């Protein structure tokens, strides 16, 4: 019974551990927080005080409630103080030897009925469980950063978890106001297996110069509607943690999609770990883009939707003219536009434009586009109220290049039988703050559109992971329009 978890130990009071301790204390559960030494303990106390203090400032908690919450947390540097805890959850760094050593100690110290839980992001819960003399009482309880805010808890059971324990721990998660998603023990579980390859892919695009850090972040926030761009999120999660998760995924899959981008490894090696070290990807401002070039406003608009776009430009004072008179040729397109260049009198004046949602315009430069022409188009789209994201003229540009492979991964995960579509959708909505889960997004975009985008990506890069998932191909071939139509 979940009600029997009345005292909970949390080992490791870094960002995640302190957030987890706060979740339990807020739910009225007594918490024993353990850190390795006095300094780390003071830091952990600081996390708890800051987080609850912010909630008071925002009027979400009264001072009295805050004192009650903090009063439920006992801090100690001695693991022995966990002897009577009903459940202990560890949130120490993602290094298997640390975890195994800790679980050996916890197994010795904690009462036989206690549940030992790990907040590992990706390591094998089975391997950790096997360290103990109570493998049936060891489970994964995976929270998301920031733990007091994100509503998901992944509950990970192994082949040897006691019957019923996953259900009890899921009930406990509900008691914390969270939504549990219960799955088996596979590297990355649901969220990290879908999230980290996407974040890594963003780093690959950055490394390949497809777009800038800020451009990619903006595109994913405003174009795809995500709460944070990938580089801001990597900084929040920690580049070291992200690198570790990717390494674990790669060891299990040997899939290049999981091979950490060198740009990520380099930053980790340099100690640029993200928010916790004062910066990772967002350590320094990117150089200001050069000022927009003045444009006389003679623009030709090509492509589907060109007339409506030309009308918007005209309303903003631009003059739309035939291609031969244009200083700028804008080709509205969702595919690379360079094929149009040889047919133009001035191929250096050609820029591809891909409108994403109602806020973002990806401004694609071909190998021939003049930099001043691209800047003129950026200024032009700004004038009509869109946010320009300069990028190279590559398959699916930025947003779709990142979004479609993630959706493809979700289809593969579902098809493998690891998790249900609802669980995957819930996990991404509640764990990452997405407005929609991947299957909801697939339905909205259209299965055929996503399949075609993946085919284009595969044709460009020849990476096996970009080939549409067999299930997606089959559903499109069968004329299925929505995952909702499946049993
Ligand atoms: N601790 C406690 N509370 C916090 C917080 C923190 N670190 N950061 C933000 N909050 C609270 C704020 O106090 C605020 O609360 P109220 O609404 O009660 O006032 C609320 O969260 C929203 O915060 P803000 O208004 O400051 O900021 P925002 O609206 O931009 O939201 C965010 C911030 C919640 C972080 C949002 O950007 C978001 O959802 N981002 C996605 C985060 C994500 O994907 N997390 C999962 C990462 S993967 C992971 O953790 C797993 C792993 O193993 C690697």
Residue bearing tokens 């049936």: 136
Ligand 1 neighbours, Cβ below 6 Å, are 51, 54, 58, 60, 121, 144-146, 148-150, 192, 195, 227-228, 233, 237, 241, 431-433
Pocket residue to mutate for ligand 1, from 23, 146, 188, most atoms within 8 A of Cβ: 146
Cα–Cα dist 315/310, whole Å: 9
Residue 111, helix vs strand vs coil: coil
Looking at ligand 1, which residue's alpha carbon is closest to its atom 10? 149
> Which residue in this structure is represented by tokens 């995500």?
226
Measured in Å, residue 432 CA sits from the centre of ligand 1 at 9
pTM of the model: 0.94
- Cα atoms in the 13 Å half-sphere on the side-chain side of 257: 25
| Distance (Å, whole) CA 152 – CA 141 | 10
* Number of the ligand 1 atom closest to the C-alpha atom of 145: 50
Ligand 1 atom closest to residue 55's alpha carbon, by position in its atom list: 13
In ligand 1, which atom is closest to the CA atom of 15? 7
Q: How far does residue 335's CA lie from ligand 1's centre (Å)?
A: 35
> Which residue's CA is the closest to the ligand 1 atom numbered 19?
58
Kindly give the distance from the C-alpha atom of residue 213 to the centroid of ligand 1, in angstroms, as a whole number. 21
Find the 340 Cα to ligand 1 centroid distance in Å.
Answer: 44
pLDDT of the chain, 487 residues: tens digit per residue: 444 899 999 999 999 999 999 999 999 999 999 999 999 999 999 999 999 999 999 999 999 999 999 999 999 999 999 999 999 999 998 889 999 999 999 999 999 999 999 999 989 999 999 999 999 999 999 999 999 999 999 999 999 999 999 999 999 999 999 999 999 999 999 999 999 999 999 999 999 999 999 999 999 999 999 999 999 999 999 999 999 999 999 999 999 999 999 999 999 999 999 998 889 999 877 777 666 655 667 999 999 988 999 999 999 889 999 999 999 999 999 999 999 999 999 999 999 999 999 999 999 999 999 999 999 999 999 999 999 999 999 999 999 999 999 999 999 999 999 999 999 999 999 999 999 999 999 999 999 999 999 999 999 999 999 999 999 999 999 999 999 988 8
Q: Which helix (H) or strand (E) holds 375?
A: helix 371-383
User: Which of these, 245, 203, 252, lies nearest to 401 by C-alpha position?
Assistant: 203
Token look-up 């329009």 returns 481
Q: Which residues contact 140 (CB under 8 A, 6 or more apart)?
A: 117, 118, 119, 120, 125, 154, 155, 156, 157, 185, 189
Cα–Cα dist 312/306, whole Å: 10
Record the tokens describing residue 73, joined without a space: 């947390």
Q: What is the DSSP letter of 210?
A: S
SS3 content of the chain, % helix, strand, coil (to 5): 50, 15, 35
Q: Tokens 């994403």 sit at which residue?
A: 356
Position in ligand 1 atom list of the atom nearest CA 238: 54
Of 106, 112, 113, the C-alpha closest to 91 is: 106
Residue having the nearest C-alpha atom to atom 29 of ligand 1: 227
b/e per residue 421-450 (b: at least 16 CB within 10 A): bebbbbbbbbbbbbeebbbbbbbeeebeeb
Q: Is the dihedral of CA 290, 295, 299, 304 positive or negative?
A: positive
Secondary structure of residue 192 in the 3-state scheme? helix
* Phi-psi domain of 396 (left: phi exceeds 0; alpha: psi -120 through 50; beta: other): left
* Distance of alpha carbon 282 from alpha carbon 274, whole angstroms: 8
- Residue 146 alpha carbon to ligand 1 centre in Å: 5
Backbone angles phi, psi at 221, to 5 degrees: -75, -55
Both structure tokens of 198? 């996407």
User: What's the full length of the chain, in residues?
Assistant: 487
Residues 285 and 28: their CA atoms lie apart, in Å, by 43
Residue 1 is predicted with a pLDDT of 45
Contact 173, 4 (CB under 8 A): no
Lookup: tokens for 377 = 């188009």
The number of beta carbons lying within 10 Å of the beta carbon of residue 349 is: 24
Catalytic positions are 121, 142, 154, 192
Write out the two tokens for 99: 């975890």
């Amino acid at each position: 019974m979940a009600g029997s978890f009345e005292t909970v130990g949390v080992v490791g009071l870094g960002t995640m551990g302190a957030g987890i301790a706060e979740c339990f204390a807020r739910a009225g559960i007594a918490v024993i927080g353990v850190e390795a030494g006095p300094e780390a303990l003071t830091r952990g106390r600081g996390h708890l005080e800051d987080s609850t203090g912010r909630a008071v400032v925002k009027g979400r908690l009264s001072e009295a409630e805050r004192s009650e919450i903090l009063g439920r947390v006992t801090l100690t540097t001695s693991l022995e103080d966990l002897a009577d805890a009903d459940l202990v959850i560890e949130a120490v760094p993602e290094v298997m030897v640390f975890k195994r050593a800790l679980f050996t100690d916890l197994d010795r110290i904690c009462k036989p009925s206690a549940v030992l839980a790990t907040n590992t992001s990706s390591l094998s819960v089975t391997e950790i469980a096997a360290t103990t003399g109570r493998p049936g009482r060891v489970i994964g309880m995976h929270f998301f950063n920031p733990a007091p805010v994100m509503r998901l808890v992944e509950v990970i059971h192994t082949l040897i978890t006691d019957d019923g324990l996953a259900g009890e721990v899921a009930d406990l998660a509900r008691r914390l106001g969270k939504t549990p998603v219960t799955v088996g023990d596979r590297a990355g579980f649901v969220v990290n297996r879908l999230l980290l390859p996407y974040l890594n892919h963003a780093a690959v695009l950055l490394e390949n110069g497809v777009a800038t850090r800020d451009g990619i972040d903006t595109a994913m926030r405003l174009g795809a509607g995500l709460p944070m761009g990938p580089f801001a999120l990597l900084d929040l999660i920690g580049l070291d943690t992200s690198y570790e998760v990717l390494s674990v995924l790669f060891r299990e899959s040997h899939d290049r999609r999981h091979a950490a981008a060198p740009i990520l490894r380099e930053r980790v090696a340099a100690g640029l770990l993200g928010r916790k070290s004062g910066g990772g990807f967002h350590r320094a401002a990117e150089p200001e883009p050069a000022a927009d070039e003045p444009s006389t406003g003679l623009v030709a608009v090509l492509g589907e939707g060109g007339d409506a776009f030309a009308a918007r430009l005209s309303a903003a004072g631009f003059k739309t003219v035939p291609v031969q008179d244009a200083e700028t040729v804008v080709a509205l397109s969702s595919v690379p536009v360079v094929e149009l260049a040889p047919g133009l009198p001035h191929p250096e004046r050609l820029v591809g434009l891909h409108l994403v949602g109602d806020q973002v315009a990806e401004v694609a430069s071909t190998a021939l586009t003049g930099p001043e022409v691209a800047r003129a188009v950026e200024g032009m789209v700004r004038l009509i109220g869109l946010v320009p994201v300069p990028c190279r003229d590559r398959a699916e540009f930025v947003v779709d290049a990142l979004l479609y492979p993630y959706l493809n991964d979700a289809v593969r995960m579902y098809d493998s039988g690891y998790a249900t579509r609802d669980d995957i959708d819930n996990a991404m909505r509640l764990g990452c703050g997405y407005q929609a889960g991947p299957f909801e997004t697939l339905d909205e975009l259209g299965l055929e559109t996503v399949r075609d985008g993946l085919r284009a990506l595969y044709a460009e890069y020849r990476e096996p992971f970009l080939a549409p998932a067999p299930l997606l191909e089959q559903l499109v071939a069968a004329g299925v329009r929505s995952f909702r139509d499946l049993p």
